[in-house]
Amino acid sequence: MTDLFGDVATILFNNGRSIGGVIPDVPLSEKHSDTISITSHPVERGAAITDHAFVNPAQLNMEIGFSDCSLRALTEAVENFDPTSWTNENDDFFASILNGTWGETYSITMYKQLIALQRSREPLRIVTRKRVYENMLLQSVTTGTDPAHEYSAVILIVAQEILLVSTQTSILPAMNRQASPVTAPIQDFGVKSVQPLSNRSPLLPGAVSLPGG
């Protein structure tokens, strides 16, 4: 029953955002950044310009909010409610629904989930209004508390893309097994000696010495 209630709540309250499966109550802002690094050195005409510029990992800044009095907080409270074990805490549960304090730890729970995602260092899928990101890591998760946000959490997330590549390893056979080795064998060219440097200029006719010779 609680699973069905949670599925319906997800459909009703889903705002199209997701950070590794964590759905914020309110998406406050999103900032997308895509850059490339371009060489500052001169490039030969006709050269492939793509060899002198590369794409940097995408970056995303999100400011999201969670409220202890949101409908999603109520959903979490109902899902965690266990009617089979009736205690005085159940009376407190129904009282909290009446006075609006049913999810006083909901925002803290969501904040801890984001911290857990960050520390797992596993690539995440982040869904925003404008695009979907794959292979993202949470670089920073920042929040604070003041009198206006005692029972809520405004969290700033900075995420960066991980550029995944595929490499292949090749093992070269020994030289004596190669059909046509490229490297020439070592050869003995005899004894070499240093010759004195002549002070004559090869640019001048005859045997004219340079000044100082």
Which residues, 6+ apart, have CB-to-CB distance to 133 below 8 Å? 58, 60, 125, 126, 127, 159, 161
Q: Convert the pLDDT of each residue in 114-134 to its tens digit.
A: 999 999 999 999 999 999 999
Place of tokens 């310009």: 49
Report if residue 11 sits inside a domain: yes
Q: Convert the pLDDT of each residue in 63-72 to its tens digit.
A: 999 988 877 7
Q: What is the dihedral of CA 142, 147, 152, 155, to 10 degrees?
A: -20
Q: Which residue in 111, 83, 70 sits closest to 2, CA to CA? A: 83
Place of tokens 């920073």: 140
Report if residue 144 sits inside a domain: yes
- Interatomic CA distance for residues 40 and 44, integer angstroms: 13
- CATH code assigned at 30: 2.40.30
Report if residue 197 sits inside a domain: no
Q: Would you state the structure tokens that stand for residue 165, as one six-digit string? A: 């590549």
Report if residue 108 sits inside a domain: yes
Q: Convert the pLDDT of each residue in 39-79 to its tens digit.
A: 999 999 999 999 999 999 999 999 999 988 877 777 766 66
Report if residue 175 sits inside a domain: no
Query: Which residue range is the domain that position 128 belongs to?
Result: 2-40+52-161
End-to-end Cα spacing for the chain: 104
Give how many domains the chain has, as a whole number: 1
Q: Would you state the structure tokens that stand for residue 135, as one six-digit string? A: 């292979």
Calculate the average pLDDT of the chain.
78
**Residue 6: which H helix or E strand, with range?**
helix 2-13
Backbone angles phi, psi at 57, to 5 degrees: -60, 140
Report if residue 64 sits inside a domain: yes
DSSP letter for each residue of 112-153: HHHHHHHHHT--EEEE-SS-EEEEEEEEEEEE---GGGTTEE
210 or 120, greater pLDDT:
120
